[in-house]
Amino acid sequence: MMHESDSVRALPIITFDDDELLTAASASAAASADAGVAVDPATGAEIGRFPNQSIADLEAAIDTAEAVQPEWAALDDRVRRAYLHRAADAIEASSEALARLLSREQGKPLNGPNARFEVGACAVWTRSAADTELPVEVLIDDGENHAELHYRPIGVVGAISPWNWPMMISIWQIAPSLRMGNTVVIKPAETTALSVRALVAVMNQVLPAGVLNVVTGPGRTVGAALTRSPKVGKIMFTGSTPVGQQIIEASAANVTRLTLELGGNDAGIVLPDVDPAAIAQDLFWGAFINTGQTCAALKRLYVHDDVYDRVVEELAAVASSVPMGVGLDEGNLLGPVQNRNQFDVVDRLVESAKASGARVVLGGDPDYDAPGNFYPTTLVADIDPHNDLVLEEQFGPVLPIIRYTDLDEAVRLANELDYALGSSVWSADRDAALAVAARLRAGTTWINSHGGLHPAVPFGGAKKSGYGREFGVEGLKAVSEPHVING
Ligand code: NAD
């Protein structure tokens, strides 16, 4: 049932505790023999089960989303905004249980820019999607001609999210889509299915039935079927570049609209005029936020020879002081790598750096027999700019630091990869930093920081980091069909 805006703002909300949330997220999984198992990456212990759904389940969810979409789209915009605000209220009411489940399943600690921060961002981005204005644009009105641009819903949006920021990235896909009158079917990553199911269960306390649907199953079957469905008008995908490329191919048959947030291997360039001690904290968190498992994290750092040794020293001092451990322990700020496949990628890349003669300043010595997927915070200095650890996306708690003397060469190296999501320039001279920024190819270039996002500022990639932009007005347009009324 769909309501008026005042009654939406008064819809009842439950504050879930840990057990209630796990039960809501698990749904009927316990009874199912082939249920998916959610594993704590800090310990290897099972934390819960979720339904391993089929393509038939997916098709049923798409049919539901398609059936209710006209009624959802027909609501006054104020009512849809009210629903989003009430969904954000619901997220906030259960924020502690959501953060604890996220911490257990994803591995990220509760504190720092981690689980509580991620759940808080879910509410912030939901409210921002509700409050962003996208009025009808009058394009010409000169007495002879009148043309207006309206933004209509596309229909059913298929959302596919990754395991690194599973709740927040899902919200980035869900909230603008709903605001614009679309309905949503979301397919979370297999290793963070419970987190997204929990988030959806919390939001669905208030959203009308069928508007937001979650289907948990394998990407290569259920995810692929979502991208091929003729009933899905738009795919919002965040994940790896190879899967993004498969989705582009799948979209051809139905000319499905796409927003693709793909891989990143962000460069940071440190100019010789910096104060190494002053920037070390921000450099560290730019690279190691979410234990390095962030699309737009600093993944290769180019430092001028004049300040190289001091920057490495200051970074090592910060890095060695930041505690890593089990997420639910309030003292930790870094956690495990989320899954063993990713741990193996990180390990392979560090071994390649070691074999090349690069200098391991910190870390690089995981305890392979310890429980969980902990990879120690690792800094690798004096590394060849074409070592695999520099060229490939490590997506873990490791930073290669490359020495340069010629700025043109640093810019060339920063720009030479297929990835172009983010980048950063670090300097005491803003004009000098801006001049370098103008030469970098990226969706975003930060000055004296790396990776900060704001719900009103468009975010997305260049080159093989994807296309389309999320957030703000651009983000609403991305989940709409522009419609000109001429006359
Ligand atoms: P992934 O591409 O392996 O999986 C992402 C999602 O796609 C999962 O839900 C998966 O089940 C699904 N999937 C897999 N195969 C599919 C197919 N054939 N068709 C449809 N769906 C399919 O990525 P991941 O390992 O979960 O995430 C890590 C990657 O995501 C990194 O490369 C990272 O840089 C990138 N990422 C990018 C952004 C961004 O905003 N640009 C944000 C976060 C992560």
pLDDT category at 274 given cuts 50, 70, 90 is very high
What is d(CA 254, CA 231) in angstroms, rounded to the nearest whole number? 9
Q: How far is the CA of 391 from the centre of ligand 1 (A)?
A: 19
Full-model pTM: 0.96
Task: Report the distance separating Cα 458 and Cα 444, nearest Å.
Answer: 9
Q: Using most ligand atoms within 8 A of CB, pick from 240, 293, 394 the residue to mutate for ligand 1.
A: 240
Q: Which residue's CA is minimally distant from atom 19 of ligand 1?
A: 224
Q: Which fold has domain 5-262+465-486?
A: Aldehyde Dehydrogenase; Chain A, domain 1 (3.40.605)
- Three-class secondary structure assignment of 121-145: HHHHHHHHHHHCCCCCEEEEECCCC
Terminal Cα-to-Cα distance of the chain (whole angstroms): 37
For the chain, which residues make up each domain, given as ranges? 5-262+465-486, 266-453
* C-alpha–C-alpha distance, residues 179 and 292, integer Å: 32
Mean pLDDT throughout 429-443? 98
CA of 476 to the centre of ligand 1 (A): 22
Dig out the tokens for 245 from the structure. 């490329």
* pLDDT range class, residue 34, cuts 50, 70, 90: confident
Summary mean pLDDT of the chain: 97
Query: Beta 257-261 vs 232-238: how paired, if at all?
Result: parallel
What whole-number distance in Å separates Cα of residue 310 and Cα of residue 308? 6
The gap from C-alpha 80 to its chain's centroid, in whole angstroms, comes to 24
Flag whether pLDDT at 11 surpasses 70: yes
Fill in the DSSP letter of residue 340: H
Give the C-alpha separation, 64 to 58, whole Å.
10
The catalytic site residues sit at: 261, 295
Whether the per-residue pLDDT at 33 is higher than 70: the answer is no
pLDDT digits (tens, 9 = 90+) for 155-174: 999 999 999 999 999 999 99
* pLDDT for residue 208: 98
Instruction: Say what percent of the chain tops pLDDT 90.
Output: 97
Q: What's the fold here for domain 266-453?
A: Aldehyde Dehydrogenase; Chain A, domain 2 (3.40.309)
**Shortest-distance Cα residue to atom 10 of ligand 1:** 219
* Any ligand 1 atom below 6 A from CB of 470: no
